[in-house]
Structure 1
């Protein structure tokens, strides 16, 4: 009864705070970027060798892969140069073409904040300048790797902050680099800032609207990996990214779903995710996420703490993790466990 009463009080307080801060929250509310990439209208009006191009809004990644397999090298490159924003964001297209297309798309923006993404050594798998921008980058050989992992970050991750200076081993790129260094060169890691994230800790972070839109994009990303023959991925979801991972879980072919610093996954138990993936959870002793109420009420809150015994996830050791972003710091037990999961060494 005491726990039930505390839950009701917490929910009531949440609704009160929500109502009382509605004006402030609306100013920070983010509009999710959805739908096909910029340039789709011109793409739909074009053709290749007399064949219509696959519609980015309706063609599956498998349809896209089959289409590109039927083109010769010249036909592929013509599309890259004519429609870089579409090819660069087209799940199922050959990754080398996407890297080239996104380099051209970044250069075409002419914006200094994106300039480093156009460097020849960068492997940018997706780039969308709409809104705050979205970007995904590959570390390693995506087509030749024995194992693939995807980093799904939380709030404040976007194309404008992707290359910003931050603490080492944090942010989508920093976490991806750290995981690959720990796991070895036989794995590829995708740093996926590929959805509209909340800004700060406001109502967007407490609700599931942006996570639902992100889950659609994450599910399509994993289908795209499958369409090009990449290994089934391991999803590493940090903070609000774990809400995205929870909503996408049943629609991905991930072997493992690892959440850390999670406010909840919009599920009461791991079984409620309806996924064949093994579900893992980590939370460090000084992570402020522990102070977030694990309730769902009137659309606010994300449910049971995935690191609790009641949720039923496999535990990841995290006693030496510092703060909310220290899970992939070299030398931590959590990073060692993540690397083992990424390499498929834990059954």
Structure 2
């Protein structure tokens, strides 16, 4: 007999948590005995980031321009956009120089201004990390980590990169735009899963494991299918993701904090870009949990397409619990180890029903040719072709088998 979660003793709940975490990790290990096993062993709970970036308190207290600056913690993107519309070029230049982390992460601020501010913030982080890497008073491991952070930051400063958000706290948050977001007719947002952070944002080895690699592949596919359509893709690592397959991957704790940040991103896009349709969300692995938490808060005259792939669940039992503002598309290839993870939710552990189950209510999408948990954006796969068609709104071209 299954006990109701509220009737379990604290000891029973702790035991259940350990069992479920073990089941999730063991399932992945059995399916992928290499990297997944190592991640499961080394995983730890992460500190979610819910507060505005460094410098926000000083920003709010600054009245040197004779103006009240919008509070990064509470100001709606529409209010932010209206504020920046009143500023002179000299005033905006002052704010970028004084508060690059604030301006660079402020949803509703002009896109080019955010790109500029984030270059300033990234250069400062690179220089700080370089100084630590060269500090003989620090131990070798600390210096090595600092060098890695400096190298990752330097990569983001390459010519032509458009960094929409950057926050060096913790493992590092970074979001990048591919394409001309201001002029795009179609916009997509990639919401990644576990282990996405500054250090894993853009990988040269096996790039499709990284948010940047997935986003580039999607944009290239859209250009292949519709070369005359202006498209843009955002690789959004705007929340603290789980590390490995440990406790954070089994609960919605990090998704609960990440979802409001995703909603703010969409609110900012609504006032700084003007695509022909609401941005399409592509939610990979744990990212689909974030999208599930955010979905009921998405409201528009037209439905927002939400594509979940390699999903452990969206925190619900069916699409009816996600609200009327979204249309859910789902796929999972036969070799993806995520299929071995239990699709359940008990006492806050687990993420609910399988989105690829016909009873869930999603539109089924073929991913034929895709291999493994990160192979959905590989060339010549049904998943990549279908993703491109959904992003472009060409629904009749989507295949479901």
- Does TM-score exceed 0.5, indicating one fold? yes
Counterparts of 1:14 and 1:227, CA distance in 2? 45
Q: Is the 8 A contact 1:170 1:328 kept in 2?
A: no
Counterparts of 1:268 and 1:202, CA distance in 2? 23
- Tell me what 1:298 maps to: 347
Find runs of 4+ consecutive structure 1 residues off by over 6 angstroms: 24-27
- Tell me what 1:71 maps to: 87
Larger helix proportion of the pair: 2
Counterparts of 2:78 and 2:339, CA distance in 1? 41
Deviates more, 1:92-101 or 1:251-260: 251-260
Q: Is the 8 A contact 1:257 1:277 kept in 2?
A: yes
After superposition, the Cα gap between the structure-2 partners of 1:138 and 1:20, relative to the gap in structure 1 and judged at 3 Å, is closer
After superposition, the Cα gap between the structure-2 partners of 1:147 and 1:301, relative to the gap in structure 1 and judged at 3 Å, is same
Size of the aligned set, in residue pairs, is: 336
Counterparts of 1:73 and 1:90, CA distance in 2? 18
State whether structure 2 residue 208 is matched by structure 1 residue 159.
Answer: no
Gaps of 5+ in 2: 2-12, 24-39, 130-149, 397-401
State whether structure 2 residue 249 is matched by structure 1 residue 249.
Answer: no
Give 1:16 deviation, angstroms. Answer: 4.6
Q: Is the 8 A contact 2:304 2:326 kept in 1?
A: yes
Deviates more, 1:159-168 or 1:221-230: 159-168
Residue 100 (structure 2) aligned to one of 81, 84, 87: 84
After superposition, the Cα gap between the structure-2 partners of 1:158 and 1:19, relative to the gap in structure 1 and judged at 3 Å, is closer
After superposition, the Cα gap between the structure-2 partners of 1:13 and 1:328, relative to the gap in structure 1 and judged at 3 Å, is farther
Equivalence map 1:43-54=2 (5 Å) = 43-47=59-63, 49-54=65-70
Q: Is the 8 A contact 2:21 2:247 kept in 1?
A: no
- Tell me what 2:368 maps to: 319
Deviates more, 1:83-92 or 1:318-327: 318-327
- Tell me what 1:17 maps to: 19
Q: Is the 8 A contact 2:100 2:120 kept in 1?
A: yes
Residue 229 (structure 1) aligned to one of 260, 273, 278: 273
Q: Is the 8 A contact 2:183 2:273 kept in 1?
A: no
Quote the RMSD (CA, aligned, Å): 2.2
Gaps of 5+ in 1: 2-10
Give 1:168 deviation, angstroms. Answer: 3.0
TM-score, with length taken from structure 2:
0.80
Q: Is the 8 A contact 2:219 2:232 kept in 1?
A: yes
Corresponding residue SS for 1:192: strand
Residue 119 (structure 1) aligned to one of 155, 158, 170: 158
Give 1:188 deviation, angstroms. Answer: 0.3
Cα offsets for 1:99-125 (capped at 9, x unmatched)? 000000000112313111122311000
Give 1:47 deviation, angstroms. Answer: 3.1
Q: Is the 8 A contact 2:21 2:250 kept in 1?
A: no
